[in-house]
Structure 1
Amino acid sequence: MPETSAKILVIEDETQLAKFVQMELSYEGYDVAVANDGLSGLMAARDNVPDLILLDWMMPGLAGVEVCRRLRSTGAQMPIIFLTAKDDVADRVAGLDAGADDYVVKPFSIEELLARVRAHLRRNDPQEAEALQFETLTLNRKTREVFRGDRGIELTAKEFDLLDYLIAHPRQVLTRDQILEKVWGYDFMGDSNIIEVYIRYLRLKLESEGEKRLIQTVRGVGYVLRE
């Protein structure tokens, strides 16, 4: 079973279908919560923000399309996939206009649903994104450009890889072993102080015009990118 920390909220009033989807998603390693009506689903999405929502269109009380509109009106950015029996173009357009990212028509195959979930989570995964930003720091993986505000910063290949790993995990303390494994590889046998050397290089370049420090040292553990 693959491991994932992604949180998925299923808002579906058909109890048996909701349980089935929850079971399949849980088996794939997702952290799954279920709400059986629109209002409780809306509250659950606001109280414990999920990484993705599977949303039934037709529910008594607060319909799925209205749940979607309300979430988007408050700035919610997570992918929302409608589960719907509605398959005509007008309904699809209405769902997309309300802020949905995708839809799966009932009855659906669980394999298709899982594929859609994986695809949308990948697009929202900072480790897969083309451009990453933290505070005034911007990194573009496609062009391998780095900016601190409007100032371009020239980095070596390894400096870029190290910064990429840090900015993809903002506010997370990364141990020296994690950094060595991800940036230099399992079989690295070089200078044991290589991380400290490259952290110093990065700080000199990122702070050359007096900008505040973003790469912080956590003594005895590793490093973290934070304000």
Structure 2
Amino acid sequence: MTDLYYIEDDPDIACTVKEYLEQKGFAVTICATLAQAKHALKMHVPVLVLLDWNMPDGRGDSMCRWIRGGWKELPIMFLTVRGDSSDIVFGFENGADDYVVKPFALEVLYSRILALLRRAGNVSEQYLSCGGFRIDQNRRSVFGSSGEISLSAAEYQLLLYLMENKGKTVTREKILEQVWDVNGNYVNDNTLTVTMKRLRDKLNQPSCLKTVRSVGYRMEDTI
């Protein structure tokens, strides 16, 4: 299924859109507040965000700016209750890719979603998230709650491999094979120990990075 987030505080509208889009093959997660949506995005990045303009804890334009701060290419579609051109222009200025004015026909919304996804592609695949940290694979950048984190090439590859296997315990042998030996660079076991220590220090000893004693490591969501 193709997953998307629908940020909407009206339960009737949200449920109607969710039921329709799920019949079309989408997996829809409804977020009733901006805070809930931010938490969901830190855990997982969908292929698209549907964003209502007026929310109980803020406006859609502020949410759009927040999303763009971490996921620059993630498609965002505003759903605005008014056809006010100033709202629409303001939305685009803050990073929206498209908009639909309420009330809207579900068929129209569906066709606009498909068109936007065709233009954007599956952007969500470039982002990996875990425990409040995220990787932008296209830019080879790592971000935490306080901004971008500078990592060496080995530290980045180690974190990337762990995030690609989020929720799984990976052995030290497998990490050495995939992160170093795959490039034909023989290293000893101490190299992983040192690199892991440096990575943990730069991530401020994150609780999401677990040591599985005598086996290896595991990344898992903790927030």
TM-score if structure 2 supplies the norm length? 0.53
Structure 1 letter corresponding to 2:18 = Q
Matched, 1:58 2:54: yes
Task: Name the structure 2 match of 1:123.
Answer: 119
Q: Is the 8 A contact 1:39 1:62 kept in 2?
A: no
Task: Name the structure 2 match of 1:36.
Answer: 32
Q: C-alpha distance in 2, partners of 1:38/1:115?
A: 25
Q: C-alpha distance in 2, partners of 1:63/1:43?
A: 17
The alpha-carbon deviation at position 36 of structure 1 amounts to 0.6
Give the counterpart of 2:43 among 47, 50, 69.
Answer: 47
Q: Deviations over 1:152-204 (max 9, x none)?
A: xxxxxxxxxxxxxxxxxxx9xxxxxxxxxxxxxxxxxxxxxxxxxxxxxxxxx
Task: Name the structure 1 match of 2:134.
Answer: none
Across the aligned residues of Structure 1 and Structure 2, the Cα RMSD in angstroms comes to 2.1
Q: C-alpha distance in 2, partners of 1:40/1:116?
A: 25
Which ranges of structure 1 fall in alignment gaps of 5 or more residues?
127-133, 136-170, 172-211, 214-227
Q: C-alpha distance in 1, partners of 2:95/2:81?
A: 18
- After TM superposition, list the pairs within 5 Å mapping 1:1-227 onto structure 2: 5-125=1-121
SS in 2 for 1:49: coil
Identity rate of aligned residues, in percent? 38
Q: C-alpha distance in 2, partners of 1:40/1:10?
A: 11
Q: Deviations over 1:26-74 (max 9, x none)?
A: 0000111111111111221232101001110001112211111101012
Task: Name the structure 1 match of 2:133.
Answer: none
Task: Name the structure 1 match of 2:220.
Answer: none
| Number of equivalenced pairs | 127
Q: C-alpha distance in 1, partners of 2:87/2:80?
A: 10
Task: Name the structure 2 match of 1:139.
Answer: none
Q: C-alpha distance in 2, partners of 1:44/1:103?
A: 22
From the two aligned structures, give the one with the greater helix fraction. Answer: 2
Which ranges of structure 2 fall in alignment gaps of 5 or more residues?
123-136, 139-163, 165-182, 185-223
TM-score if structure 1 supplies the norm length? 0.52
Q: Is the 8 A contact 1:37 1:59 kept in 2?
A: yes
Task: Name the structure 1 match of 2:179.
Answer: none
Structure 2 letter corresponding to 1:44 = A
Q: C-alpha distance in 2, partners of 1:108/1:75?
A: 27
Q: C-alpha distance in 2, partners of 1:71/1:106?
A: 23
Q: Is the 8 A contact 1:39 1:67 kept in 2?
A: no
Structure 1 letter corresponding to 2:65 = R
Q: Deviations over 1:97-125 (max 9, x none)?
A: 11000110000000100000111111122
Following TM superposition, where does structure 1 have runs of at least 4 consecutive aligned residues deviating by more than 3 angstroms? none
SS in 1 for 2:108: helix
Structure 2 letter corresponding to 1:46 = K
Q: Is the 8 A contact 1:11 1:56 kept in 2?
A: yes
